[in-house]
């Protein structure tokens, strides 16, 4: 019998890569999508191979319905508001979706599918400005944003349900991971798309915030493999998933512009209003535990990942240019 899996946030970057990975492994894949989400561009290649259920993490009844309709052996909880600056603008919505949504899901699973294996997507933002770098599973959490705080609440709920009810719940403390499917508002995509727009004369400058912030950037395709491995382990646990290598936003800009034959300095403008109220200086992960216990390791390097983002941005600009020529002709 094929194993059934349910993915919340299936239409996002991670959800789509995970869907493709699980389909290759022979899973029957189900996903929960918002009631008003009719188009799923990230799933266009595989949408006919998955079963989608309308639902929201804000409503217990729709979660119940989705679980009963799919009866999963495994569930990957990826659905959330994930853009950190959005949390400062909508902190109540952020908390209700991230923390409240996780609580509703865990309680539904406890009642309806207590033996289901559960992956919870936690985040490096829970570390905040940690006193040590790199960060590992034993580094103290000290979030400095509404998003990080909401994620820590959800993480602690997962640990509590695991300990209190004996449920198989594994948390992946995911450091930054990118791909061409990443939303344009995230800095990796913003830099690559901005650099390409400047290269083709479609923009004159790229406006960014803190160039000194250091992040550990990996590729989403690698990180979803780690998610799956966590649910195949003999016992549930928490794992940092990261490359172990940090790069500043300035380095990201310099490399992206260099790939296009440009010097970044004349084009990048720093806007202090784009700084976070409390910024995090350095987030670099130590994934020793995942390497040792799961046999996981990243396959993409930083430059390879950024080159892929640039190539996708170039293809989009080329497609838009051809579309304009057809419309004009």
Flag whether 290 is in a domain. Answer: no
Active-site residue, from 8, 11, 123, 139: 123
Same domain, 164 and 191: no
Q: How confident is the model at residue 289 (pLDDT cuts 50, 70, 90)?
A: very high
Q: What is the pLDDT of residues 231-254, one digit of tens each?
A: 999 999 999 999 999 999 999 999
Written as one string, the DSSP assignment of 170-215 is: EEEEEPPEE-TTS-TTSHHHHHHHHHHHHHTTS-S-EEES-TT-EE
Please tell me whether residue 54 adopts helix, strand or coil conformation.
Answer: strand
Active-site residue, from 20, 28, 74, 125: 125
Query: Quick check: is 147 catalytic?
Result: yes
Of 116, 37, 31, 15, the closest CA to residue 71 belongs to 116
Active-site residue, from 17, 27, 76, 147: 147
Q: How many domains does the chain have?
A: 2
Calpha distance 3→320 (Å, rounded): 41
Query: Quick check: is 11 catalytic?
Result: no
Q: Which residues pair with 32 in a beta bridge?
A: 8, 53
Query: Quick check: is 123 catalytic?
Result: yes
Same domain, 124 and 164: yes
Q: What is the pLDDT of residues 97-125, one digit of tens each?
A: 899 999 999 999 999 999 999 999 999 99
Flag whether 291 is in a domain. Answer: no
Same domain, 148 and 277: no
Flag whether 118 is in a domain. Answer: yes
Same domain, 160 and 134: yes
Q: Which residues contact 15 (CB under 8 A, 6 or more apart)?
A: 7, 8, 9, 31, 42, 76, 78, 79
Same domain, 131 and 223: yes
Same domain, 117 and 224: yes
Domain of 273, in residue numbers? 187-215+246-281+301-328
Q: What is the mean pLDDT of the chain?
A: 92
Same domain, 126 and 259: no
Strand 238-241 versus strand 169-174 pairing type: parallel
pLDDT number for residue 47: 87
Same domain, 115 and 194: no
Same domain, 136 and 209: no
Same domain, 167 and 98: yes
* Radius of gyration from C-alpha coordinates of the chain: 20
290 is written with which tokens? 């995942």
Calpha distance 22→31 (Å, rounded): 12
Same domain, 204 and 130: no
Q: How confident is the model at residue 323 (pLDDT cuts 50, 70, 90)?
A: very low
Could you tell me which residue, 20 or 329, shows the higher pLDDT?
20
Question: What CATH number has the domain bearing residue 252?
Answer: 3.90.25.10
**Average pLDDT of span 56-69:** 94
Calpha distance 178→182 (Å, rounded): 6
């Amino acid at each position: 019998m094929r194993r059934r899996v349910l993915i919340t946030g299936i239409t996002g970057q991670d959800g789509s890569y995970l869907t493709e990975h699980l389909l290759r492994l022979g899973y029957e894949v189900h996903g929960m999508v918002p009631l008003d989400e009719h188009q799923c561009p990230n799933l266009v290649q595989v949408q006919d191979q998955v079963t989608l259920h309308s639902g929201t993490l804000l409503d217990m009844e729709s979660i119940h319905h989705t679980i009963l309709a799919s009866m999963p052996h495994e569930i990957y909880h990826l659905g959330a508001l994930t853009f950190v600056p959005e949390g400062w603008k909508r902190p109540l919505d952020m908390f209700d979706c991230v923390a409240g949504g996780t609580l509703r899901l865990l309680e539904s699973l406890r009642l309806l599918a207590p033996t289901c294996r559960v992956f919870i997507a936690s985040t490096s933002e829970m570390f905040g400005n940690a006193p040590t770098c790199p960060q590992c599973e034993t580094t103290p959490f000290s979030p400095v944003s509404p998003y990080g705080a909401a994620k820590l609440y959800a993480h602690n709920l997962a640990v509590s349900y695991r300990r209190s009810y004996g449920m198989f719940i594994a948390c992946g403390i995911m450091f930054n991971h990118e791909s061409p499917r990443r939303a344009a508002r995230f800095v990796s995509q913003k830099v690559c798309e901005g650099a390409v727009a400047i290269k083709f004369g479609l923009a004159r400058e790229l406006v960014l915030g803190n160039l000194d912030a250091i992040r550990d950037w990996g590729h989403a395709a690698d990180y979803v493999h780690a998610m799956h491995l966590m649910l195949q382990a003999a016992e549930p646990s928490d794992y940092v998933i990261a490359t172990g290598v940090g790069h500043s936003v300035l380095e990201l800009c310099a490399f992206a512009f260099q790939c296009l034959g440009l010097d970044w300095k004349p084009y990048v403008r720093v806007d202090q209003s784009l700084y976070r109220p409390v910024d995090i200086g350095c987030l670099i992960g130590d994934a020793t535990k995942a390497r040792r216990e799961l046999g996981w390791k990243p396959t993409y390097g930083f430059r390879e990942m950024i080159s892929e983002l640039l190539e996708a941005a170039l293809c989009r600009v080329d497609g838009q240019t051809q579309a304009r020529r057809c419309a004009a002709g």
